[in-house]
Every structure is written in structure tokens, then in C-alpha cells.
Chain A
Amino acid sequence: MTAPAIEAVDLTRRYQLDGVAVEALRGVSLRIDQGEFTAIVGPSGSGKSTLMHLLGCLDRPSSGVLRINGVDIARLSDAALAELRNRTIGFVFQSFHLLARTTALDNVALPLVYRGLGRAERRARARAALESVGLGHRMDHRPSQMSGGEQQRVAIARALVGEPKVLLADEPTGNLDTANGAEVMAILDRLNAGGGVAVVLVTHEAEVAAHARRQVHVRDGLIERIHLRDGLAEDGAS
């Protein structure tokens, strides 16, 4: 049996906001297997974004254990964590987060810069990634010259170019119209089915969440319930 892509045990995350302690996560345990498609669903303020930041190693838990690809991140330095993000995680954000005055190709190649790859190889891989999301004809366009749907597809290509184990998508359709949103979801479906990439989708839209095999409902910093697409329900405390 292979190690889970992500394994979280009893994660908590507390913030100090203006001197007031806020408990965003109050003990979450979750396992994301290789190649799985999971949606994290919950109203705003439920802690789902905090959870995603933790799963993506952008943040560290206040307590609990988080293992990415079998590695406990508590022991990792900042540099090792950065490398883990670079090699294991691909991010897709609601607001795309593309570099404005940079071409689609260079945007997609950016993660590979931090892997120390040469320019030629970066470009070749970025080109392949852009082609895989159907943007082979937009290589030299800047974000401002593309539609929102196209920009999000560039962002997906950027998330994929490093061949991550897990793709974390935070409200990927939040800024898109229905048609573009559907197209983006279709790409995520296809990637998950064909490439074996685990997809973790954070959303508050039931329709979007329905793409996932498993829906993890988060409320008030806790997992409320886990819902499987085939109708079975898992115990919330798995």
C-alpha cells in the first residue's frame, strides 16, 4: 500500500488577531490518498481556507501532525518546506494569481525557476503543460490579453508543470462564469482521471463540489461530516 499523499492528524490552528485568539481549526484529521478527488466544503469562516493553507504547506499547524507524502512537516526548515511545495503541491487560486506583465509561457514556467531548471527545459515543459489545458495558441499572451477562463487554465498549467502529487484548488471557479467554470472543472476531472493527480477542491458551491468523489464538510473549525458520491457517509472523525 502506498503512503497517503496527505495525512493530517488532529490539526489545530490558532491566530492572534488584535490580541484576541481565534481558533480557525479545532482538531481536524483527514487523509488524502494518491489520485483521490476530494472537495472541502463549508461556509465562509468555517476554516476551510485555513485547512487548505495547511495542506498546501503555506502555513504550519499550531498542533497536530501533518505528513505530506509520508514526511512530517514539523521537522522541515523553511527551505525544505518550499521545496516540498515546489515538488509535491500545485496551487490553483480563485483570483488566478498570474504575474501581470509576464507571458502565459513564463507564468507557467515560474515554479521550475525555483527548481533550478535551465531555460530550455522550463520552456519545453511549460509548453507541454499549456497544450495539455488547450492553450497551445496562447503561449505568448499576457494575462490581460486572455479571458478569465483562459487565465485560470494558465494557472492550472502552472500548477501541473512541476508534476505534483496533489493539486490544491481554492474556489477555482469563483471568479468565472458558468461556461468557463464548467470548462475548468472538466480539466480538473480529466487530470484527476488520467494523470493520477490527487485533487483537493475548496468550494462553497454544491455543484462544483459534486465533481469530487468525496466531500468533506467543514464547519466551525471541525469536520462536520464526510460525504461520498456513491451515497455512503463516513464517520466525521475518520
Chain B
Amino acid sequence: MEAVNATEALVMAMEALRVNRLRSVLTMLGVIIGVLAVVILVAIGTGAKDEIERQISGLGTNIILVVPGRISLGAAPTQSKLGLADVAYVRRVVGDPSKVTVSLQSGETVRVGRTEVFVTVIGTDQNLVNIFERPVGKGRPLSETDVDTRRRVAVLGSEVADRLFGDLDPIGRQVTVAGARFRVVGVYATVGQTFGLSRDQEIHIPVTTAQRLLGIERINGLAVGASGPDEIDPLSDRVTAALRDRYPGEQFSAVTQTALLGTIGSVLGMLTGVLAAIAGISLLVGGVGVSNIMLVSVRERTREIGLRKALGARQRDILAQFLIEAVLLTTIGGLVGILLGVGGALAIEAFTEVPASITWWSIALAFGVSAAVGVFFGVAPARRAGRLDPVIALRAE
């Protein structure tokens, strides 16, 4: 005897699901929510990763940040012993003075008239704009003379300029930084955030002026620009080795974008994995629901199963019928979940601050898993149906 053909079986299963519409939809809901959760959570995890990688690359390319102490995730920052003399030393080590810049940071209040904003004041030099690829929108960047002569001039981040001056042109106007008056010489172009800190909320002043203003001799760290990706590792080794020579017993760390991207990428990859696993659990719970409903369905349709057997259905025809129903429940649920998940992820991306980026592997995975869940959780009820004794089944109820 020929097997029941596949289209036939599919039509039969669709019909059975249609007859029990409400129950089918409720059963699918478990799978829908599971798949939706997988797609959305993976999208958010991936979106966060993409966003952070974008921000890191936004810092500029081929930059080596040199800081005192040993850097590892979660370690407290070490007190800096580096000063401007060390910057000159590193410049000699690197060979090209324009490839080295410096940073001394402090949170300060900046005031214009009655308007006050709290900003990150960074003492730096004329090389920052080139190394960090920080374009100036208006006016000019800091100059070597500004640094050498300790001028009280400032270049504002675009957001600071907006908040202090509004529509006015800030160039040439006065701002009060930590009680001292500065003249605005430039405004940076808008660059956006890195790690939740807006770089448009910074004010850059000459590092020498900053040291006097804050009353300190040290600097926080320095940055070296490598001329190409291949130069990053040898150059950072050379710089840290030279600094260790100068300060025997001290540690210095070079942080590169590649290293940052690697570390953060693996942490966020793990996070995405955990999110996907949690969502996967809800998918599994949905599968248990399918199993449960299929068992109820087998019990309810015992007479039908008995009848089908009497009319010539084999065990495997009945098994296939119920298995197809289960798989249909989960795959339709899976497809709806994917549609809603993609829609949800797009909506999150469009209407919230949370970045979300849809990945095809998560959709394929969610669909594959939901089909597999149907098979896995459908087999037990379907086998039970297939093995029913027709005599007993026909007598049921």
C-alpha cells in the first residue's frame, strides 16, 4: 500500500489545527514568544556589540593609548607618575613628535554669564586633532604656541558650545573654566559618544595651562599614533619598554583598539550568547506546551484514531499525522515569532536608544530550533497515538 502522500498529510494536519483554532493559537503563543525573544535579544546583543565596535573605531585608527600601571578589566586605575618630560622622552623614542599627544582630564564647571555646565576638561596639545581624527568645525584647533606659552584658550565640544552659547558664534568669546577665564578659539565638529560618554561634551585646553589651573605636574596618559596597523604592536612594545627603562620597577600598559575590540567583542559575544540561551529556555517551555496540548489532543481524538486504524491507517500514518500537527504548530509559531521579532527589533532600533541589529543566523536558528522542538516534543504524543489499540480506541468515551 502506498503511503499517505505528504501534501495530503499536511492538508489533514492544517485542517485539524483549524478546527481547534483557539487552542492552536494559544499553543503557538508559547513558541511565538520564545522565537520572538530569541530574535529580539540576539538583535539587541548584536546591536550593542556593533555600536560599541563602531564607537571604538570612531576614536580614530591605529591609536596606542599609553597609561601607567597594568590595565586589566575591572582593575582600579593606577596613580600616574608621568609628566610632560616623559612625553618629550616618548617623542624621542617614537621619532616623530607629531605622532604623540597627551591627556590630563578633570571634571569641571564651565560658565558663561549665568549658564553653567559640567564638562570634561582635557588638557592636551596640538597633535590630538590629527591622531584622534577630531575635525574642527569652526575656528582653529589648539596650536603649539598655545601649549608652549600656556595660553588660556579653549576648543569646545559641539554640545558644550550649544549649551553655553546657543545660536551665538562662540569664537572669540569668554568662558570661565574652574574660575579662570578662557577665550574660545574653536569648536569641534560633532562626533558622538564612546562608552556612554559624549565626546561632544569636552573642552580642550593646552595641557600646560591645565596643569597650572589644576595645580598638578603629572598627566593622565599619552597617546601614540602608529602609521599603520602593522606598526601598532612593535611601536607599543617599544614605547612601554622605553618607559620601563626610565622607571625601573614600574608597569606601563599600551591599550590598542584591536585589543579593546577583542576584549569587548568577546564579552559582548558571551552576553549575546547568554541572552540567546535565556530566550532559548522560553522556546523550550513553549515546546513543553506543544507536547502537553498534543497529548490532550491524542486523548480527545482517541475515537478518531481508532476509526482511522479500522479504515486502514497504519501506526506510522497516525504517528505522522500527529507529528506533522506538532511540527506545524511550532513552525507556524516560529514564523510568526520571527516576523514579530524582526518587527520588534526594527521598532526598537527606530524608536529607542537601544541599538538592535537583526542577524540572519539568529532567525535561521530560531526557525530551526522551533521545528526541532516540534519534532522532539511531538514524538511522544504521536507515538502514543500510533500505538493506540483500535478496539480500545473505538470504545473510548
Which residues of A are in contact with B by a Cβ distance under 8 Å? 53, 56, 58-59, 78-79, 82-83, 85-87, 91, 93, 97, 99, 101, 110-111, 113-117, 119, 158, 162
Which B residues lie within 8 Å of A86 (CB)? 1, 311-312
Contact of B140 with A by CB under 8 A: no
Within 8 A of A (CB), among B123-145: none
Measured between C-beta atoms, what is the minimum distance from A70 to chain B in Å? Answer: 18
B390 to A114, Cβ gap below 8 A? no
Q: How long is the Cα–Cα vector from A99 to B19 in the complex, in angstroms?
A: 12
B307 to A78, Cβ gap below 8 A? no
A158 to B311, Cβ gap below 8 A? yes
Known: A59-B391, A116-B3, A116-B4. A99 touches B304 (CB 8 A): yes
Q: How many A-B residue pairs have CB under 8 A?
A: 73
Chain B 296-315 per-residue mask, 1 if CB under 8 angstroms from chain A, else 0: 00000001101111111111
Identify the interface centre among B307, B311, B314, B391: most chain A CB within 10 Å of its CB.
B311
Q: Ordered nearest first, which 4 A-B pairs have the shortest CB separation?
A: A116-B2, A86-B312, A114-B312, A82-B314
Contact of B115 with A by CB under 8 A: no
Q: How long is the Cα–Cα vector from A87 to B394 in the complex, in angstroms?
A: 20
Chain B, residue nearest A170 (CB): B394
B312 to A56, Cβ gap below 8 A? no
B312 to A162, Cβ gap below 8 A? yes
Q: How long is the Cα–Cα vector from A113 to B9 in the complex, in angstroms?
A: 9
Which B residues lie within 8 Å of A91 (CB)? 310-311
Known: A99-B304, A114-B4, A115-B1. A58 touches B391 (CB 8 A): yes
B390 to A78, Cβ gap below 8 A? no
Q: How long is the Cα–Cα vector from A12 to B303 in the complex, in angstroms?
A: 26
A93 to B4, Cβ gap below 8 A? no
A78 to B315, Cβ gap below 8 A? yes
A116 to B309, Cβ gap below 8 A? no
A114 to B313, Cβ gap below 8 A? yes
Which A residues lie within 8 Å of B311 (CB)? 85-86, 91, 110-111, 114, 158
B1 to A83, Cβ gap below 8 A? yes
B309 to A82, Cβ gap below 8 A? yes
A83 to B304, Cβ gap below 8 A? no
Which B residues lie within 8 Å of A111 (CB)? 311-312
Chain B, residue nearest A122 (CB): B8
Measured between C-beta atoms, what is the minimum distance from B154 to chain A in Å? Answer: 80
Known: A53-B391, A58-B390, A114-B4. A101 touches B19 (CB 8 A): yes
Q: How long is the Cα–Cα vector from A62 to B339 in the complex, in angstroms?
A: 56
Which A residues lie within 8 Å of B19 (CB)? 101
Which A residues lie within 8 Å of B304 (CB)? 99
Q: How long is the Cα–Cα vector from A72 to B314 in the complex, in angstroms?
A: 19
A97 to B391, Cβ gap below 8 A? no
Known: A53-B391, A58-B394, A101-B19. A79 touches B4 (CB 8 A): no
Within 8 A of A (CB), among B1-44: 1-5, 8, 12, 19
A113 to B314, Cβ gap below 8 A? no
Contact of B317 with A by CB under 8 A: yes
A78 to B2, Cβ gap below 8 A? no
